[in-house]
Every structure is written in C-alpha cells, then in structure tokens.
Amino acid sequence: MKHRAWFAAALLAAATATQAQAPIRIGTFLAVTGPAAFLGDPEQKTLELYVEKLNAAGGVLGRQLQLVAYDSAGDAEKARTFAKRLIEQDKVDLIVGGSTTGETMAVVPLIEQAGMPFISLAGAVVIVEPVKKWVFKTPHSDRQACQRIFVDMKARGTTRIALISGAGGFDKSMRAQCLGVAKDHGIEIVADESYGAGDTDMTAQLTKIKNTLGVQAVLNAGFGQGPAIVTKNYRQLSIGAPLYQSHGVASKQYIQLAGGAADGVRLPAAALLVAETLLDSDPQKKVVLGYKRDYEARFKSDVSTFGGHAWDGLMLAVEALKKAGSTDKARVRDALESVRGFMGTAGVFNYSPTDHVGLDVSGFRMLEIRKGDWTLAR
C-alpha cells in the first residue's frame, strides 16, 4: 500500500515536472526555396539563430523555445497545408511566418478560425486592413512604401511616373495602393504595365513605357527575380529616368542578380541595411547594428531587411509571451496588441486594436544603390 502511494506520488511529480519543461512551440512556414527564396532563407536563418540564443540565455518564462519550421516555397497552397499542420498536428503556441502576401492571405481564414496568434512577415496592407483579430505583421506595408517613394519623388520635382508591376499578391496590392495614394502626393501615373510571374523578358513592357511622353521616373512594384530582370532590361533599353523599387528587393541577392544595372536604383528600406553609417544618436542604431553583426558573424553573408522582419516578429512574440505570462493564446494576442514603443529593426512598433502594422513611416529610409552597395540617398 505504501509502495503504491510512493509510486503514484513519484509519477505525479514526474508528470508535473515534464509539464513545466514542455517547450514553447513557435511555428513557422517560410518561402525558403523558390522564387521568394531571398525572403524566406534569411528569415529562417534568423529565427533559428535567435531561438538558439534565447534558449542559451534561459528561454522564455523559464521554458525553452522550440521552432517548428516548414518550407512553403512561396506557394500559397503549400502554405495553407503547413499552417493547418502547425495548428492541428504540431499544436504550436503561435506562428511567426508567411514570407509573402499570397501565402499569408491564404492562411488567414485558418488562423482566424483556430484563434492562433499570427505574426506575418509579408508586405501588403490587405493583411491588416481590415484589422483581423489574430493577424499582425512586421514589415512596413506597401502603402507606406508608396507614400515614402512619392514623398521622395515630389521632393525631387518628379510628378509624372510610370508603374510596372508583377502578378503576385504583393505586386498587385502595391500597385493598387500606389494608384490610390498618388494624387495625395501630387503624383500622376501616366503608364501602367504588368508582367507575368515567371517572365524572363520585360523589354516589351519597358519599351512601351519608354515611348510614353513625359515619364520622369519609373516605379517597379514587386519582389523576387522579376524586379531584377526589370532592372537589367531597364539599363539595356537605356531609359534615362530614375528607377524606384519597393522594399521587396532589400536584399544583396537583388544586387547580385541585377549586377551593374542596379546602380542608381532607389528604394525605401529599413535602416538595417546602412546600420554602420547611422549616427550614434540614431535611436535605431543599437538594435540594427546588433542584429547585423550577429547575423553576419554567424552566416557569413550580408543582412537583408527580410531577416530583420523575422527578428522583429520573433522578438515581438517573445515580448508578448512575457507580458502575458503564459502561452494562453488569447492572453498572448492581447499582450501583443498592447505592445508600445518596441524598437525593432524596421523601426518603433506601436500595436493597437486598430493598427496591426505598428510602424510609422519614420523607420523607412530612402536608399540608393551605388557601386553594388546600399547608401542613404542624398
């Protein structure tokens, strides 16, 4: 009788002990391979690196973090399948992922139905507009990119521009946003071309733009290898007007692919890319420089803002977990929504019930590519 009691007590103690040690499961699905690989690859590397660092420092809430990662290859269907798996089979506590807008939007209905806190790493504003209860995002939205670009154009006296965009979710969304906010900034869009997802030659569309009268600048809304080809074709056709890209090309891979043609291209991007040249008094410098050094030391390759978005997502998730004091999904969500003044690589985050982007335009710097490297545009 006594033995049985001891035995039962020992089992109970063991059970509660393992319960306390159960790791916090963070799920992610990223486009590590495929056309959006230069988004997903640094995102995955960043998440792995920082989960490791956080665990080495004792974990969160006394528990270790466990990353459950899947490669969606930029395919919205696969993203849905993996998200379902994360929610139903892997039973993760929250999800930080979704490299592209298409993948994120495909997953949103599942997220809302399951009541899973989800921090997306994709760009388009439709992800958070209208505000969805469980969906947050870390990159600047495409509308903010349009606004930042238009502000820069207006400052340089440019008023008539041409737009060229691809077929993906982010491309179409940014195009719609730019068409929508152009008038507010005094910009007139006189040409609007598009290319297909796997297109390898955009000279036809650019030729039409070249022959449109009065075009003072060209804006390419897209990410992946499409903008790299547009950039190469742009130089081939010797179009003199300045070329603007979105923050979807904020990776050295874009410069590698486009080669010398990328010189002179302007884009809005996080200060992360020019971390060393920031003034010491810049409030962003500490965070971006720290992340840049960690990432480059470990992976021996240049940082991109996409890895930065993943850092922001993970650290915001950790912040929310700490604030909530548990992994209860509703509490974590509420904690996330109440985050204020959090310094990320993209800027200061201030989430609220009406704002699940959190960033304002101040974190967005205008960069110019010169001699194959990022510089602050003059």
Chain residues binding other proteins by CB under 8 A are 33-35, 37-38, 41, 73, 167, 193-196, 198-205, 207-208, 211, 225, 228-229, 232, 235-238, 253, 256-257, 259-261
Residue-wise burial string across 98-107, b where 16 or more C-beta atoms lie within 10 A, e elsewhere: bbbbbbbbbb
Phi, then psi, of 119 in degrees rounded to 5: -110, 115
Locate 164 and state its tokens.
Answer: 């060229």
- What is d(CA 317, CA 324) in angstroms, rounded to the nearest whole number? 10
Based on CB atoms, which residue is closest to other proteins, 153 or 303? 303
Residue 218 makes CB contacts below 8 A (sequence gap 6+) with 161, 162, 163, 164, 209, 234, 239, 241, 242, 243, 244
> Least Å distance between CB 349 and other proteins?
31
Based on CB atoms, which residue is closest to other proteins, 138 or 165? 165
> Least Å distance between CB 189 and other proteins?
17
Based on CB atoms, which residue is closest to other proteins, 186 or 260? 260
Q: How far, in whole angstroms, is CA 303 from its chain's centroid?
A: 13
Based on CB atoms, which residue is closest to other proteins, 34 or 59? 34
Of 343, 350, 346, 320, give the one whose Cα is nearest residue 333. Answer: 320
The SS3 call for residue 18 is helix
> Least Å distance between CB 274 and other proteins?
24
Query: Are 239 and 210 within 8 A, CB to CB?
Result: yes
> Least Å distance between CB 370 and other proteins?
18
Based on CB atoms, which residue is closest to other proteins, 198 or 290? 198
- What is d(CA 187, CA 146) in angstroms, rounded to the nearest whole number? 11
> Least Å distance between CB 264 and other proteins?
14
> Least Å distance between CB 219 and other proteins?
17
Based on CB atoms, which residue is closest to other proteins, 134 or 295? 295
